Amino acid sequence: MVVTTDSVPGETTGGSYFVLLRGAGGVPPYSWSLADGSLPPGLSLLPSGLVRGLPTNAGTFDFTVGVEDRAGVYATESFQMVLVDPLVIDTAFLPVGTVGYSFTTALAASGGTGPYSWSVTDGSLPLGLVLDSTGALTGVPGGTGEVQFTVGVEDAAGRAVERSFTSETINPLVILTPSLPTGTTGSGYSFTMGGSGGRAPHVWSVSSGALPSGLALSPDGVISGTPTVVTQAQVTIRLTDADGRVAAFPYVLTTLIGQVRQTVGARGGTVVVDIVGDSVNLISVVAADGFSAYTIAAGPAKVQVHFIGASGQTPSWVLCEGSPDVSCQFD
């Protein structure tokens, strides 16, 4: 009496398993039983010699079976069963590619018996990309849009599975605004930044430096407000897309003093002026000796008006922007 089955096949967990053990010699019928060790969880051995069930655990299992004929003659045989998890492609999505920028991602699989071999089984990869046998998808995308294709993976035992993917390629995220227009103190300022590429929505922000006092940048990319100081502000503006891509560009935003209205002080009194942004010149006009210039600093200031001249001459104090020969007109 002998067991003629010399090995049992390995299978994948979760699938139906049926193997009939065979013997020879002796006096049939035979009765089979487990003599030593344990069958994999989910499997059982029937007296007919049928091993069946739904194996649940992957691994290597050693066990011994015995067979007895009608005359009581007994024989045993030891087996090793290797069970693996089903072969599956774990990668569910591909990262978005950017035209002109290097793209690298590794497709992943599990289960089955390694090593794996990858290939494209249907459709075509995006322009500029290649898939090697290890599952590495690499290259430099050459065009925008969505491309659908199917890849397959085969394990060392010949098991194979496939999965379809949609690959998306977009234009690079860029800031289109080359420079910022000059602002004027005391006057409303509004300018919309320009950008393109990436994936909407886009969000604008200041990444370093600061805008001139009185101005702010909205998430929509609008710089607005009323400048309150004369300056050349150095600021870096950042554009972020929905996937976290970032583009940044440094700017210098210049604000100049606004037009200062000419103010003539009354004789013997006080004139209050509010100078926004910069120092200006205060000019004393006297018929006999021309004018004398004085500088007052930016901010609220009081200008005292009084009599200087002689021989009945009446001088006047005039608030001007810049030097008198450019900005001041006198009667």
Write down the pLDDT at residue 246.
97
Domains and CATH numbers, the chain: 2-84 (2.60.40.10), 88-170 (2.60.40.10), 174-256 (2.60.40.10), 263-327 (no CATH)
pLDDT digits (tens, 9 = 90+) for 72-90: 999 999 999 999 999 999 9
Nearest to 186 by CA among 217, 229, 234: 229
Whole-angstrom Cα distance, residue 120 to residue 150? 6
The tokens describing 326, both together, are 């450019």
- Check residues 60 and 259 and name the one with the higher pLDDT: 60
C-alpha angle 83/87/88, rounded to 5°? 145
pLDDT digits (tens, 9 = 90+) for 264-273: 444 444 444 4
Percent of the chain at pLDDT exceeding 70: 77
pLDDT digits (tens, 9 = 90+) for 159-178: 999 999 999 999 999 999 99
**Cα dihedral: 242, 244, 247, 250 (round 10):** 110
Length of the chain: 331
Write down the pLDDT at residue 268.
42
pTM: 0.67
